[in-house]
Amino acid sequence: MSIGIGVIGCGVRGQHSYELALAALPQCQVRAVSQYPGASPAMFEGKDAESHARKYAQRLGAEYCPDHTDLLQRGDVQVVSLMCEPRAAPALVEDCCRAGKHIVRDKPMCLDLPGADRIVAAVEGCDSELLLTLGTRFSPTLRPAARRLIAGDIGELLTATFTYLQAGGPLDGFLGSPGYVEAVGGGEVTNFGHYAIDYLLWIAGAPVATVYATMGSYFYADYQDAGMEDLGQLMLRFSNGVLGTVITGRTTTSPRPESYFRLDLTGTAGSIQCDSQDECVLLSRSAPQPQSTGIGGIPAMLRAFLTAIEAGEPSPITARDGREVLRVLKAAYRSAAEGCAVNLQTTS
């Protein structure tokens, strides 16, 4: 299957240019690039959005479309890499769905729960599929842990602790600002907590019932001035009794751009330990068993999405998954602000 890729939004801070990973797959080619209307200046940090998009299209050997609706009318584009700011995402997803395009969307999926509801309704009301790029599910280290858990190798899951940190400080040229927080919906707990929360929701197999969270600006003066957190801890109780802990954010330690994660699962018959050094160890009544790693998480995730499209099957990570992560995150921010646990069973 030959797949044409269109890009809406490029040069946006915090978006990860998944069209480049798609273009690395043999069946994909980037055909067109466009920006989107009303982009927040904080997300472009002084760049001229249109001239940046023109240069980016030229770099990719693609056509530049001044109006994103022209890109959506192209018959040679089947999948849109939607790399816009979260605030703009609901309307652009609706545009993509009306045009019959499949969507690859980076996190945060959108700014708030009403926006998430719009995205879910748009995707589920058409024949398009949306992939939310929460690649921890496809990590060559973390995916074997999920398989071990499903196979019953550690019995019934009791606790899950996930530390997911980005090291080395902010990217070059980035300054925390109220405009950034307004456009994204939060700071580094939003940026990196998505990955850990989605993975724990996936393996727990149940929604979060209560959240207690603490957050703060510990490392960077500009974050403190902007009221933007750089580190947070979330304590989660799932509706099936599983207890979860997430530690996430952006630290000053170790060289950039390395990320660090560690996952510890404890069950009634053993435990599993995984880390970012590609080690996954099963500790049970038998000897520890290192697990082999496979293809990188991002290519595996994108291939799974394209396979689902071809087979007419649902996306491996859906808009509803994104809404549920956002629901937990919003409750976490409320908990941190109010200094108490938030009961999600009483909220939609």
Span 236-265, pLDDT tens digits: 999 999 999 999 999 887 655 577 899 999
Per-residue pLDDT at 256: 53
Domain spans, the chain? 3-128, 136-296+326-346
Which pTM was predicted? 0.93
Give CA 273 to chain center in angstroms. 22
**Close Cβ partners of 113 (under 8 Å, ≥ 6 residues apart):** 323, 326, 327, 330, 348
Pick the residue with more confidence: 316 or 348?
A: 316
pLDDT digits (tens, 9 = 90+) for 85-98: 999 999 999 999 99
Please confirm whether the linkage preceding 108 is cis (ω < 30° from 0). Answer: yes
Q: How far apart are CA 194 and CA 216, in angstroms?
A: 17
Name 7's bridge partners.
33, 81
May I ask the CATH class of domain 3-128? alpha beta
pLDDT (average), residues 33-39:
91
Give the residue carrying structure tokens 């690859």. 104
Per-residue pLDDT at 260: 84
Residue 223 confidence (pLDDT) above 80: yes
For 11-20, 100-109, 308-317, which range has the lowest pLDDT when averaged over its residues?
11-20
Residue percentage of the chain with pLDDT more than 90: 76
For 192-201, 217-226, 279-288, which range has the lowest pLDDT when averaged over its residues?
279-288
Residue 329 confidence (pLDDT) above 50: yes
pLDDT (average), residues 11-23:
86
**CATH number, domain 136-296+326-346:** 3.30.360.10
Residue 140: left if φ>0, alpha if ψ -120 to 50, beta else—which one?
A: alpha
pLDDT digits (tens, 9 = 90+) for 107-163: 999 999 999 999 999 999 999 999 999 999 999 989 999 999 999 999 999 999 999
The phi and psi torsions of 231 (rounded to 5 degrees) equal -150, 145
Q: Pick from 220, 120, 117, 202: which is nearest to 157 by CA? A: 202
